[in-house]
Amino acid sequence: MSDASGVVPGEATNDSDVAEPVDGKTGNPAEAVLPEEAGSDGRMGDQESPSERKNFVIPREELECSLCLKLFFDPVTTPACGHTFCRECLALALRAKPNCPLCRTPANIDVQSHPVNAVMSHILQTHASEEYRKRSSEVKLEKKRRNPRHGIFFSNLLSFPGGKVHLHLFELRFRTLVSRALATDRKFIIMQRDAPIGCIVNIVTSRSTADGRFYIEGLVESRCRVDQIRFEEGGHGLECGEAHAIVDLKEDEEEREADNKLSEGSEQEKKDDKSAKEDEGVMRSNPESKGWEQNASPAVRYREPMEILKRAIEGLEEAMGDYQFKMTRRVHGDPPLNDPEQLCWWVCRVVDSHDDLRMACLTTDSLLARLAVSRQLIVLGCRDARTRWWVQTFAVGGILAAAVGYAVVGDFS
């Protein structure tokens, strides 16, 4: 009698009746499974043990960015087509054209704020942790070496850190500037055409119209030196440049720079303004103010020039009048009297004349020199405010006199 397998117990079997080896092991063919269907213990593939899942091998090319041909770092996936790239690689590619670099599908996304591909990031940190750490160090080092390129908006007006910029852009090159800035880090450069220095603007809000125009509001963040200015490929006439951060001088160099700016900046205004010359004497001859330059503490170091600048601002408020100074505060904010750096920029924004001194304040890399130039700007601003007041007074008086004279002549006629 045979069992269910068709073999009679105790009866000899032929060699053909013996189970053939499966994967180098002997066993029943009915119990052999493919690796993708079950594990070594006979369980199905979706029930593999953690150790078996850990040994799963992913092809190297599946973990590489198709743009830089390196291991993914900070991977992001385009929502329209599902292709994955390094964040920086995709940002650079979208600058040239807002399409997926692989399939050319439109990819109008904000790369900097787009969420990271969590699954790919987890795979990288799990299966290629050592190489991923090396890749991270490499990217950080590359960012330190590389000076970012930004689109440039050339303006006739000077901009200063802390100020706001409102622009209505309709030219194709500047529309391209805004589109690229929004797709990357939301920053661009604003500067005068022949100026050696510019400012980095961060786009706070933007609004586009149906015909492609942009209304943007930006905040001026910092100064920068701009070089390597050239037309960008596919930018429709847009010029881009490399932005280099400006670092202030050390203390000993700063003192010499302050003296030079204080002596050079007032040469053009000495002949017309006696008050500026007298205030220079306060800075140079006051025996109590000579010690602050040698003090290493910033709080004490800038105390004397800050006090002089505060008194000058009080004089500016008196010269402008309560109403005009109130409107100035509404536009530019209250003067930051406890922050020497921001106070200088506030003065440059409020006194919107004498561009030679304002440019000197923007280009110098010494805070002491900027405080000295800011004081000169306030003195000249007070003079201009008084001049405008007299001009307006005489103009109004002349108009009233003419009106009265015309009325009198009309009565007699």
Domain termination site, one of 124, 145, 166: 145
Q: Which domain holds residue 305?
A: 251-392
Task: Name the domain boundary from 245, 267, 282.
Answer: 245
Gap between the Cα atoms of 54 and 210, Å rounded? 52
Return the pLDDT at 184. 74
Are both 179 and 297 inside the same structural domain? no
- At residue 254, the pLDDT reads 53
Is 176 inside a domain boundary?
yes
How many folded domains does the chain comprise? 3
Strand segments, DSSP code E, in 155-213 are 164-169, 187-191, 197-208
Asked whether 180 and 203 are in contact (CB, 8 A), the reply is: no
Structure tokens, 1 = 């009698």
Residue found by looking up tokens 């204080």 in the block: 262
Please report, for the domain that includes residue 194, its CATH number.
2.30.130.40
Residue 15 included in any domain: no
Q: Are residues 272 and 189 in the same domain?
A: no
**Residues 121 and 182 placed together within one structural domain of the fold:** no
Q: What is the pLDDT along the chain (413 residues), one digit of tens a residue?
A: 444 444 444 444 444 444 444 444 444 333 333 344 444 444 444 555 555 555 556 777 788 899 988 889 999 999 889 999 998 888 878 877 788 999 998 887 878 778 999 998 888 888 888 888 888 888 887 776 666 789 999 999 999 999 999 999 999 999 989 988 887 788 999 999 888 899 999 999 999 888 889 999 999 999 999 988 888 777 788 999 988 888 887 655 555 555 555 555 545 444 445 444 444 443 444 434 344 344 445 556 678 888 888 888 888 888 888 888 888 888 888 888 888 889 999 999 988 888 889 999 999 888 888 888 888 888 888 887 777 655 556 565 666 666 666 666 655 55
User: Is 333 in the same domain as 351?
Assistant: yes
Length of the chain: 413
Tokens representing 335 are: 């003067």
- For residues 262 and 257, give the distance between their C-alpha atoms in angstroms, rounded to a whole number: 8
pLDDT for residue 88: 85
237 and 357 housed in the same domain? no
- Kindly state whether residues 129 and 158 are assigned to the same domain: no
Same domain, 183 and 68: no
Q: Domain boundary residue among 145, 176, 207?
A: 145
> Does 41 map to a domain?
no
Residue 60 burial (CB < 10 Å; 0-12/13-18/19+)?
exposed
* CB within 8 Å of 218: residues ≥ 6 apart: 164, 165, 166, 167, 188, 201, 202, 203, 204
